[in-house]
Structure 1
Amino acid sequence: MRARRRAPLAAAAAVTSAMMLAACGSVGESGGGAAGSDGNGGGDGGQIEIGLVPKVEGISWFQRMEEGVTSFDEDHEDVSAFQTGPDSEDAAKQVAVIEDLIAQNVDAIVVVPNDPQAVAPVLERARNNGIVVVTHEAPALAGTESIDLDVEAFSNQEFGEQMFAPLAEAMGGEGQLVGEVGSLTSETHMAWYNAGLDYIEENYPDIEVVSDQPYEDNNSDSTARSNAQEILRAYPDLAGFVGTSVSALANFAAILEEQGNTDVATSGLSLPSIAGPYLDDGWITHAQTWDPAGAGYVSCYVAMQLVNGEDVATGDDLGYEGYDDVTVEDGIVSGNATMLLESGQFSDGEYPF
């Protein structure tokens, strides 16, 4: 492998502590893969084939992830890594893409599931066919027969609390709050949302969560925009909004700007290029992220290691900023890759992604 890649946000974004678990063991013996046991790699001419399946193609988040997959492919001459996914956030479509990769007899499949439980059976079938399976954003599948390892950028509980804490402060500790997720079946989106609700309940009893469950946008900008308009009509006294999808926060901020509404504090997941202008102009109160390219790069790295019969262990450097001292416990590879985005951070208008 060539020199370790550094996330371009390293100097500008705060990388916070996350999920430093007390594990000291290693994981990897269960990942046989198409060529795993002899450590020689698979595919034609010894080249390892790795297919990464995102939740959906065509949105900024997964376009950035594909850059990481491409970088990994360029860094490893013995690997052919590529990204292929469904054209909408649909678990059945994602299953069809995975089935196609199984038919191609790739050496490893990396998946960012829309619904981890919905794809679990087809992933188990892939493993039964000798294919290494790695997931991202699917810790519930760790330790099951469906996957070899799951890769997480941080502790999901801490990430959720970090998302809600500055929002509650900006709300003055009181008022109505509404949330939005990509989907109710998105394991990580719901983990952040529920961790944040627990934090609010414990620390801010005067904040009222007014919807029984979060709105869903299916990672669609048009749906998120419609949701924002509906929410502001339904709750004219709204004081806070939190969005766990990139579409949610950005489109809510855009509607606030269009309406000139300065009464609602906002927080959630975004990308620097999307959040930067809204942060600078005050339409987003707080935003945080991790680099999708890093997640794509590292997930492919883990898959390669398992195909080659190598362990992934606590303390390993997996070649990307935030994953240079990972923790491995209970089938989950955890990095320290949270990035906090701030107003004025990109005053030159040059966004890393």
Structure 2
Amino acid sequence: MKLTHTRRTAAAGIFAIVALAASGCTTVGSPGAEGGGDAGGDDGKYRIVTVSKVEGITWFQRMSEGVDMFNEEHSDEVEAYQTGPDAGDPAQQVQIVEDLIAQQVDAIIVVPNDVLGIAPVLERAREAGIIVGVTEATQLVGTEAIDFDVEAFYNAEFGEGFGQQLTEAMGCEGEYATSVGLLTSESHMEWLEAANAYIAENCPDMVNVSPTPYENENDDQVSRDLAEEILNAYPDLGGYLATTPSGGSGMASALRDKGRQDVAVVPLTLPSVAGPDLEDGYMFAGQGWDPAGWGWALNDVALKMLKGEEVTTGSDLGWPGYESVTVDGQLIIGNDIQQYYPGDFADGQYPF
């Protein structure tokens, strides 16, 4: 069975996708899909728009570089660009998608701030004949809201990596705190759940002082203020796990100002963001992936679907970490987990 992009009634669509998920389908799109028609732009190009969680932060700046590179590589057939809210506001994201529907773009890709909250407008986009792709939104897999979801890895595996790094740093004992971008950020919560489960199973003497994680809002100042709050509240804190780059950097900055290296900081991060803190001892380790490749891969799948082409298990999406993807229904999984430690960038040269 092959997943195709078609306009259909909700009841028929839900039945078809449930059947697809049960079948373990390994193909997204097909030559028989409703793709390959006239592009929406006046110049005959497909218009593909990526909507980030928030513009202006390093992570999504790097993602936009991948989108721009994809646009340049395929400039003869696409107009691809990235936009997004100026803060991590779910309502702003919904409005941006509404505007894109009105503009009749060909494909919309979203990194949701609120996965379930944005689902209705994504479903309306599909009803309008627009290809819809997402990432960090596996809750939408198997629903009428999307055509595909590209993930850089399996979330549970990535989350366990955080747990392994933090237990290594803390010697399996002591108090640790956690923060996510937003409690509605599905991927952040899944990573944290997997990390906490790994820690509880392997290091029962470690204590999570924040069963409900703090929210750092993907914001540098909020993260810095939050770090001060946490350090004041827990004077014996031994570790800090943050699922955003700003969360990790905010804590590292607070520790640097205090001249403290007694809290093991393990965040989602980028080499260029974490490098100085890793080398100076204010961050123990970090994890991430290349957001540029993420942006490229999402746009590559969208273009293939627009042209009526297939993405199957083993397909190469044209970027390291996505050379041989795994396809399961609407879900497309790459292999781009990267871990960073002191000494990795001692020369100050960062890949991104």
Return the TM-score normalized by structure 2.
Answer: 0.91
1:85-234 counterparts in 2 under 5 A? 85-234=84-233
Q: Which residue of structure 2 aligns with residue 252 of structure 1?
A: 251
Q: Is the 8 A contact 1:49 1:81 kept in 2?
A: yes
Q: Which residue of structure 1 aligns with residue 12 of structure 2?
A: none
Q: Which residue of structure 2 aligns with residue 296 of structure 1?
A: 295
1:25 and 2:23 are equivalent in the alignment: no
Q: Which residue of structure 1 aligns with residue 8 of structure 2?
A: none
For 1:49, which of 41, 47, 50 is the aligned residue? Answer: 47
Quote the offset at 1:349 in angstroms.
Answer: 1.3
User: 1:135 & 1:278 partners in 2: Cα distance?
Assistant: 32
Q: Which residue of structure 1 aligns with residue 333 of structure 2?
A: 334
Aligned-pair identity (%): 52
Q: Give per-residue Cα distances to partners, 1:256-288, cap 9 Å, x unaligned.
A: 111111211111201111101111111111111
1:254-293 counterparts in 2 under 5 A? 254-293=253-292
- Which one is further off, 148-157 or 204-213? 204-213
1:60-75 counterparts in 2 under 5 A? 60-75=58-73
Q: Is the 8 A contact 2:25 2:329 kept in 1?
A: no
Q: Which amino acid aligns with 2:259?
A: G
Q: Which amino acid aligns with 2:27?
A: S
Quote the offset at 1:340 in angstroms.
Answer: 1.1
Q: Is the 8 A contact 2:27 2:329 kept in 1?
A: no
User: 1:146 & 1:166 partners in 2: Cα distance?
Assistant: 35
What secondary structure is seen at the aligned counterpart in 2 of 1:178?
Answer: strand
Q: Which residue of structure 1 aligns with residue 10 of structure 2?
A: none
Quote the offset at 1:343 in angstroms.
Answer: 1.2
Q: Which residue of structure 1 aligns with residue 7 of structure 2?
A: none
Q: Is the 8 A contact 1:24 1:313 kept in 2?
A: no
Give the CA RMSD over aligned residues: 1.6
Q: Give per-residue Cα distances to partners, 1:83-128, cap 9 Å, x unaligned.
A: 1111110000000111111111000000000011011000000000
Q: Which amino acid aligns with 1:27?
A: V
User: 2:299 & 2:229 partners in 1: Cα distance?
Assistant: 40
User: 1:53 & 1:31 partners in 2: Cα distance?
Assistant: 28
Q: Give per-residue Cα distances to partners, 1:185-232, cap 9 Å, x unaligned.
A: 000000000000111111111001112311001100000001100000
1:30–1:211 CA distance, 2 compared to 1 (3 A) = farther
Q: Which amino acid aligns with 2:214?
A: Y
Q: Is the 8 A contact 1:37 1:309 kept in 2?
A: yes
Q: Is the 8 A contact 1:24 1:314 kept in 2?
A: no
User: 1:70 & 1:155 partners in 2: Cα distance?
Assistant: 26
Return the TM-score normalized by structure 1.
Answer: 0.90
What secondary structure is seen at the aligned counterpart in 2 of 1:46?
Answer: coil
Q: Which residue of structure 2 aligns with residue 318 of structure 1?
A: 317
What secondary structure is seen at the aligned counterpart in 2 of 1:143?
Answer: coil
User: 1:303 & 1:176 partners in 2: Cα distance?
Assistant: 44
Q: Which amino acid aligns with 2:273?
A: I
What residue ranges of structure 2 are gaps of 5+ in the alignment? 1-23
User: 1:24 & 1:93 partners in 2: Cα distance?
Assistant: 34
Number of residue pairs matched by the alignment: 329
Runs of 4+ aligned structure 1 residues displaced above 6 Å come to none
User: 1:143 & 1:42 partners in 2: Cα distance?
Assistant: 27
What secondary structure is seen at the aligned counterpart in 2 of 1:95?
Answer: helix
User: 1:323 & 1:31 partners in 2: Cα distance?
Assistant: 24
User: 1:323 & 1:283 partners in 2: Cα distance?
Assistant: 32
User: 2:51 & 2:30 partners in 1: Cα distance?
Assistant: 23
1:39–1:317 CA distance, 2 compared to 1 (3 A) = farther
Quote the offset at 1:25 in angstroms.
Answer: 2.1
Q: Which residue of structure 2 aligns with residue 3 of structure 1?
A: none
User: 2:171 & 2:332 partners in 1: Cα distance?
Assistant: 37
Q: Which amino acid aligns with 2:53?
A: K
Quote the offset at 1:42 in angstroms.
Answer: 4.2
User: 1:316 & 1:40 partners in 2: Cα distance?
Assistant: 25
Q: Which residue of structure 2 aligns with residue 59 of structure 1?
A: 57
